[in-house]
Structure 1
Amino acid sequence: MTKPVGWCATWLPLIKIAQAICHFIVIIMFLDGRAQWYMYNAIFIFSFLALFFSFFTILLRFFELTDLHIMSFNFAAMIINFLLMSISLAFSGLLIWDICNMREGPIKIRYHQRLPPANIGNDAWIRRCVVAATSLLLAGILYLITYLKLRSVSSN
């Protein structure tokens, strides 16, 4: 059984696609230069996993494969959305802290293993981190909206 094609224009798929776009932007920003600091790799891998989760939940809901024997699918989705929201906001805060340190100069970023790649440069890398932090912040807000909407749907 599947949902009608118009279902793709409802709130849940649109929010999930927006979350996927936010994580895709983070992936693009961290394709180069993520070897500077191990946290950039962690954010990069997290974005891949969150991107997969966003598309996977859209497919599960579209094909109505939401029968879990342990708990309701909405409850599991709420837990995962809350977890992804927390991680997205934490990584965004970490990037904001890192951006502030990078603006202070190289003496403040001794925790980085390497300098930004020469083809990117320090200022361009800071701008990339700003874009990634903003995307993660927006993704966290979208996960919060999804969590709250699922909570109100499951309570009815």
Structure 2
Amino acid sequence: MVVRVLFVCLGNICRSPMAEGMFRAKVDAAGLTDQIRIDSAATGNWNLGNPPHRGTQQVLTKHGIDHTQMRARLIDQDDFADFDYVIGMDGSNMKDLEALKPLESDVILKKLMDFAPDEKQQEVPDPYYTGNFDETERLVSAGCEGLLRAIRERYSI
């Protein structure tokens, strides 16, 4: 069995590719690469085809995570059938995702910070607007650790 995880933010150039890369590194370190598939997407179409923002590239490079193949793409209806988890970054993303989600979909739709209940901040602020990639990195890392724990518990892997 392969668990499929899709991270989603507004433009798919800052938060969701950061989560995709950081989560992939955690999955690789846990030896679960063959059991968890990871991708990211956008709810908006402004940056389609673009690589991650240079701030996200810097964070990923600092962690030794390759981002050269990452390109922004738009979420679509098929993603709700193709993925087990669709993970948004903030309330606005969640509102957009809930509106897109087909009624028959049984995808697990949650905010990343739902997996980091000890954090005061329950949304990942968009560093495209805040400029604070360090805070985004800290929150994304905490959320990804919690998500990996939840998946390992749920699927006994």
Same fold (TM over 0.5): no
Higher strand share: 2
User: Normalising by structure 2, what TM-score?
Assistant: 0.28
Higher helix share: 1
Flag the structure with more relative contact order, 1 or 2, with Cα contacts below 8 A and sequence separation at least 6: 1
User: Normalising by structure 1, what TM-score?
Assistant: 0.29
